[in-house]
Chain A
Amino acid sequence: MSPQHRVPQRLLPDPKIVAQSGPISPQRLQLRGLDQALRRAWGMTVTRMIQEVQASGILGRGGAAFPASVKWQSVRDADAAGKLKYGVMNADESEPGTFKDRVLLETDPLLPLTGLAIAARGVGADKVYVYLRGEYRHLLLPIQRAWEVVEGTVPEAVIPLEVRLGGGAYIAGEETALFNSIEGKRPEPRLKPPFPTVKGLFSQPTLIHNVETLANIALAFRDGAGPFRKYGSASTPGTKLVSISGRVNRPGVYEVPFGIPLTEIIEGEDTAQGMQNGQRLQAVLLGGAAGTFLTSLEVAEAAYDYPALRRFGASIGSGALVVFGETDSLPEVAQTLANFFAEESCGQCVPCRIGTVRIKEMLEQFSLSERQVDLRDLAQTMRDASICGLGQSATTALMSLLDRPVLWSKNVDRGKGAV
């Protein structure tokens, strides 16, 4: 990694700190400076707290990149009616190729939970929930214990925290479906508006953040907005945890500043350390199952930031990078993704319920070129008319593939069925 993009580990703890303290010990809290983050937050008025979030420029790290301060202000403003309010940490990390929240919660749960405590104070939440992916069951007790450590540090009583385990549905990571799940209902996305900040969990104003967003909030309060913005780009301050997998030498979770060239993430000594067995890069699927395929040429040009990626029709999404070598069949990958969405559609709305299955079937039976028109036609209906992000983006990766014939024209006949 070039020196200009080398960052000290912030979201992930320094190895020295890891060696000196257990992940949920009071010592860790101090070594990470989180006691200071809490003290600073508790020393501020809530108005000042929201200003701090705004100044730090944190964008949501769950995929939508929505400014955190806008959410805070909206939940705060919902106070007028004096209603109960909730804070929720979305730890239902289920996006294929994404595993950074798991690493964060396993190695340093105090960081995001400090962020959660601060956020709860900032919006005046009466109770907080952690919605934890069911497969992360091993993190349930650590999260509860970490909350006790945070509680023991703040000057006044901290509000109750409840951890809820997901039941294995991808869609439950969608924020309103997640609320339904906590409420004991079927995890189906709700119509927005009303947005969660106005009518969220149990129909009350709710602040919901991804684990990594809350970790960033803890850092912003520890260091102050100015120092926080030292890394990253002007429009997207801070660092990002990327989950990189596929044909690289060192798959894993790495912390990078926004704006870093994609190639540096793939090739960097501190990061993925280049392609396996020296094979040539064919493409990167950027942002998860609903992400975008970038060709090797595009990868060479792209910087890891929202405005820069927009040029390629791509986005950062959940921070997943799946790297494909030249021998990988991307139509087969598209098929796998289609299977995934057909499996994970909740079934509520027509375009997604039936559309995801039809996409899957068409990819099974025909080559991409044969049904290209129908695929595009159906994708448009799904994108325009599905209720939630799942259906709207279920064909994003496929469409990005269709738009880059170089990635499939040479193995166009690899699709199953009629050739």
Chain B
Amino acid sequence: MEIEESRQLTIDGEVCQVPAGTTLREACLQVGKEIPALCWHERLTPANTCRACVVELEGSRTLVSSCSRMVEDGMVVHTDTPRVLHARKGVAELLLSTMMDDVNAPELQKLAQATEADPAHFRVGETLVQPIRDDNDLYVRDYSQCILCYRCVAVCGEDAQNTFAIHVAGRGLQAHIDTGFDRSLPDSDCVFCGNCVQVCPTGALIGKTEWSLRQENEWDEKKIQVTETTCSYCGVGCSLDLHVLNGRIVKVTSPYNHPVTQGMLCVKGRYGYEYVQADVAHLQGS
């Protein structure tokens, strides 16, 4: 057996040992320090873009992103210095400065509350508010809510789907998720697996059914029941979480800890459920 190498570091004055290859954020969690993060996702390669997870590392000129920085022996880390708290608050204020107040971004709002961010602080100009892209019946894109976490890019690319239908285009505040020349989704390389929708931390990517129900004010998280079952299509055996509201499936996800899917589905598994709730006329044939 190979003996696992360990690393010793100090986090907020507490000396701890963690296995080599642990990120700073994981190490912090192990000593009970929860570090916020918006772009980080358990299933994906850290994108390291939101910078909400920065911590202070002694000897480093700038703060470091704990989601992607690996532990090293002798590191001395501080997770709640004024500098760290200031940067986190700044990140929240900057993101909120691009959006409307009613944005559907629970993780961002949590960060804003925790840091006592003022959404109006930097609201001095350009926003991301733009028309909703509703060009197919499976999912809707509302980039007014996009925080450019890159999760959708990662999941569409090498981290899972390997379709490479989307990437970031433009630069600066014009940087945005693009299908390639801003084509509509049906005309793009998208295969509608919806894995991007599943990992999106805001309402920027949202199932058409959920979006429509929200428009009608009929989406009620508290009334949704989730049942774990297995997909009825091919023989891979993907685990499905069926989200049922008022007797209808309104969303399908997959658990990230499932050995088969690791949270990912194909278009049939995610959207191909309608046959169990098609209208009676269809059930009886023509």
Contact = CB atoms under 8 A, between A and B. Distances in A.
Q: Do A and B come into direct contact in the complex, CB within 8 Å? A: yes
Interface of A: 169, 171, 186, 188, 191, 193, 342-351, 353-358, 361-362, 364-365, 374, 377-378, 380-387, 392
B172 A381 contact: no
Q: Which DSSP category, helix, strand, loop or mixed, fits chain B's interface?
A: loop
B54 interface: yes
A361 B124 contact: yes
A284 B5 CA distance: 52
10 contacts: A346-B175, A347-B168, A354-B94, A355-B90, A364-B125, A378-B94, A380-B87, A382-B90, A384-B83, A387-B48
A351 B175 contact: no
B69 interface: yes
A191 B63 contact: no
B122 interface: yes
B126 A361 contact: yes
Contact of A345 (B69, B86, B167, B171): B171
A374 B121 contact: yes
Contact of B122 (A344, A345, A354): A354
A380 B174 CA distance: 23
A284 to B, nearest CB: 25
Contact of B97 (A169, A354, A387, A392): A354
A385 B124 contact: no
Contacts of B174: 347
Contacts of A171: 171
B185 to A, nearest CB: 21
B122 A358 contact: yes
Interface string B15-39: 0000000000000000000000000
A384 B48 contact: no
Given A362-B124, A378-B122, A353 B172 contact: yes
A171 B168 CA distance: 15
A374 B49 CA distance: 23
B62 A342 contact: no
Given A361-B124, A362-B124, A349 B172 contact: no
B202 interface: no
Contact of B51 (A188, A351, A357, A380): A351
A381 B89 CA distance: 9
B150 to A, nearest CB: 8
Given A169-B171, A344-B172, A355 B86 contact: no
Nearest to B153: A186
B68 interface: yes
B87 A385 contact: yes
A378 B168 contact: no
Contact of B90 (A344, A348, A365, A377): A377
A392 B65 CA distance: 14
Nearest to A383: B62
A8 B122 CA distance: 53
A345 B172 contact: yes
B51 A350 contact: yes
B193 interface: no
B175 A353 contact: yes
Nearest to B65: A191
B200 interface: no
Nearest to B94: A354
B278 interface: no
Nearest to A194: B70
A384 B172 contact: no
Contacts of A357: 125-126, 172-173
B69 A191 contact: yes
A218 B52 CA distance: 44
Nearest to B84: A384
Given A357-B126, A387-B48, A350 B172 contact: no
B50 interface: yes
A387 B167 CA distance: 19
Contact of B173 (A186, A193, A354, A385): A354
B170 interface: yes
Contact of A358 (B70, B89, B124): B124
A355 B97 CA distance: 10
A357 B68 CA distance: 26
Contact of A350 (B62, B95, B167, B171): B95
A385 B121 contact: no
Contacts of B62: 383-386, 392
B254 interface: no
B238 interface: no
A358 B97 contact: yes
Interface string B118-143: 00011011100000000000000000
